[in-house]
Each structure stands twice: as structure tokens, then as C-alpha cells.
Amino acid sequence: MRVFRSSLTRALRHRWPRLKRILPALVLVVVAALLIHFGRSVDWPQVWVSMRRIPGGSIALASGLVVAGYLAYGALDLLAKRYTHHTLPWPKVLGVAMTSYALNLNLGVLLGGLGARLRLYARLGCRKSVATRVALFSAASNWIGYGWLAGALLALGSVPVPEGWGVGTAVLRLAGVAMLALAAAYLAFCALSRRRTWTWMGQHAALPGTGMALAQSAVAATSWAIMGAIVYVLLQGKASYPAVLGVLMCTSFAAVIIRVPGGLGTTEAIFVAALAPRIPAPEVLGAALAYRALYAFAPLCLALLAFLIMEWRLRHRRRAPPTTAAAAKPPAGPEKQAGQAFRAWD
């Protein structure tokens, strides 16, 4: 058995670079075909009409859920604050998390989820190593919650499969069971592992406890559930909530594979393919576009404004001349000067 596992591991390592290049291309071809197919067949003026027919109450409720969704995602950084023990105030942590999340949805992981987050944390006085641990903790938590929720939906057969795709329900159920097994294995590892710390590539990592692992799963799953509720509200209940949430989670995974920021075009194409047989395509596409406008584009405008304001305030604070009281302080002693130099270097 060990010989089989080692040979399988070597084979995967040898072929992974090739698979890594082929898989995004295959998904991109499928999504491009869907976009071309539905782009030709969809009545775009009717899509605009469908968007305008969404009741104002539904728009208001969806907007409230957008705020709740961003707060739920920001709560992952609050968990990371407790995990890393950094001392930034929680309102600033929420602001950084929500700003970087909006940038991530529209500009991609490198610019938003990682680049903007690291820069803002560093500008607020957080060490780069700590900011990196926060970003990795939040990203890992997000996908752990995804595993629990998507795994349950797939295992229960709640995700509709577009006609002609040739993917059987049994295959999806097995995929769901595998995802649940991985999520449960992480929880068990956090609860039972005797080794709690590792050092990898100069980065120190500590294994979360059972309570933290449960909190990661619950908060991240709540964030994903709210995202599905937004689309469900915009569709005005014309499809079941589990089906809408399952399709949304599939679109998110596809967007990650093909590396399209925010799943632009991917989300709309898969939603239409999965739900259009039971709901008119213009209505599905109108709801998907409204979801993008509320959950991605509108927060992006606010995030860019908040990012510029934070940058300006932090630069202005750094350039401000020292106060008279600070200038009148006597010079620090040798021990204090050494400590300040060490902290500056760190």
C-alpha cells in the first residue's frame, strides 16, 4: 500500500505542471463556448427589461445582504487577529478586510486579496510576516467553509446539472463526499494533532485549536451562504435556495481555475446554463448581472475610495511635523534606543 501511495505521489508530482496548464485552458474553452452560445441566443434588450422589473424591495433586501456578506467575510480577519495576536483595533481590521475583499473580487487575488491587504496592514504598522499570516489564514478559512457547504450541497444532489454536460449525479455526490471528508479531516487534525507548530520557508505557523477551527468553518460557511441568498432574492424565489447556492459555488470554483477576476462572464454563463431550462434566460441573466453590480461593482467603487483615503491619511500622518511635547522629550537611554532599533528592524 505504501509503495502504491509513493508511486502515485511521484506520478502526480511529475504530471502536475502539465495538468496545471491544461485544466484552466479546458475550463476556459467550456466557458467561452457557453458565452458564445448564450450571447447569440439571449435577447439583451429583454435582459435589461428583466433587470428593471426586479422589485425595489428585493433590491433593498439584496443590498442589506451585501453588507452582511462583507461583514461576514471581514469576520475572518477578526479571527485571524485572534490567531496571530496582533494589536490592530478591530474597526481597522474590518476596514482592511472588506476593502481588500472588494478589490479581490474585481481585480484578482494578487492585487486585491493579497497585495492590497499586505500593503494596508503594513501601512497600519503590522509586520509583513504577521500580515502574510492573516491573509493566508483568511484565505484558508474561506475555502474550508466552502468545502463544508459545497460538499453538503453536492452530496445531497442539490446542484442542478446543465443538460448535455454528461456529468452524472453520482459523480457530483462523490465529489461532495470527498469535500466533506477533507473538511472533516482538517477539523480532526486541529483537534487531535500532537504537533502544533511548524516552520516553512522561514514562516512560523501554529495549528489552530478545535474552537478556532469550528469558528473558521462556521464564519466562512455563513459568508458563502449569504452570497447565495443575494442571488436567490434577486431571482425572487423562482429557483430553490440550495440550487442557487450550489450553482454560485460552482461558478466561484470555475472562476478560480480559469483565473478570471470576479468570474466575469463565468458566473453569468454557468447560471444561465444551469437555471435557464426552468427560468427564462433573460431573467436569470438579469439577476446575475444585478448580483454582480451589487456585490462586486458597487463595493469596488467604495473600496477604491476607502483605499485612497487611507493612503492619504497615513501619508499625511507620516509627514506631519513632531509636536512640541515630543520634541521636548529627553533622548532615550541606550537600552531604550536598542529596543527601538530592534523593533524598527523587525
pLDDT value at position 345?
A: 35
Side-chain-side CA neighbours of residue 2 (13 Å) = 0
Average pLDDT, the chain: 81
DSSP bridge partners of 322? none
**DSSP notation for 229-275:** HHHHHHTTTSS-HHHHHHHHHHHHHHHHHHT-GGGTTHHHHHHHHHH
Residues 6 or more apart whose CB falls under 8 angstroms from that of 223 comprise 69, 72, 73, 75, 76, 142, 145
Nearest-CA neighbor of 266 among 143, 115, 105? 105
In 3D space, the residue among 83, 224, 87 whose CA is nearest the CA of residue 148 turns out to be: 224
Mark out the alpha helices in 53-168 (DSSP H runs).
56-84, 90-107, 117-123, 128-155
Q: Is 332 left (phi over 0), alpha (psi -120 to 50) or beta?
A: beta
Higher per-residue pLDDT: 344 or 64? 64
Can you give the pLDDT at residue 203?
Answer: 66
What DSSP designation does 331 have? P
Indicate if the pLDDT at residue 332 is higher than 80.
Answer: no
Digit-coded pLDDT (tens) for 187-245: 999 999 888 887 776 667 789 999 999 999 999 999 999 999 999 999 999 999 999 99
- How much is the pLDDT for 140? 93
Burial class (CB in 10 A: 0-12, 13-18, 19+), 214: middle
Nearest by Cα to 76 from 208, 217, 211:
217
DSSP 276: T
Which DSSP category does 196 fall into? -
**Quick check: 291 and 305 in contact, CB under 8 A?**
no
Instruction: Say whether 125 sits in a helix, a strand or coil.
Output: coil
Q: Which residue has the cell 505504501?
A: 2
Count of Cβ atoms closer than 10 Å to residue 84 Cβ: 20
Contact status, residue 167 vs residue 161, Cβ threshold 8 Å: yes
pLDDT, tens digit, 9 for 90 and up, residues 69-81: 999 999 999 999 9
In degrees rounded to 5, what are phi and psi of residue 209?
-80, 180
Sign for the pseudo-dihedral over CA of 80, 116, 306, 304: negative
The amino acid sitting at 218 is A
Q: What is the dihedral of CA 332, 333, 336, 340, to 10 degrees?
A: 50
| Residue 242: per-residue pLDDT | 95
- How does pLDDT run across 122-146, given as a tens digit for each residue? 888 888 888 989 998 999 999 999 9
Indicate the pLDDT class of residue 326, thresholds 50, 70 and 90: very low
Task: Decide if pLDDT at 1 tops 80.
Answer: no
Per-residue pLDDT tens over the stretch 29-59? 655 565 565 555 566 688 888 889 999 999 9
CB distance 306 to 99 below 8 Å: yes
Answer yes or no: is pLDDT of 341 > 50: no
Query: How many whole angstroms separate alpha carbon 324 and alpha carbon 142?
Result: 47
Q: What percentage of the chain exceeds 70 in pLDDT?
A: 73
Bridge partner list, 200: 203
Residue 291 to residue 63: CA distance in whole angstroms: 9
Q: Would you list the domain boundaries of the chain?
A: 28-315
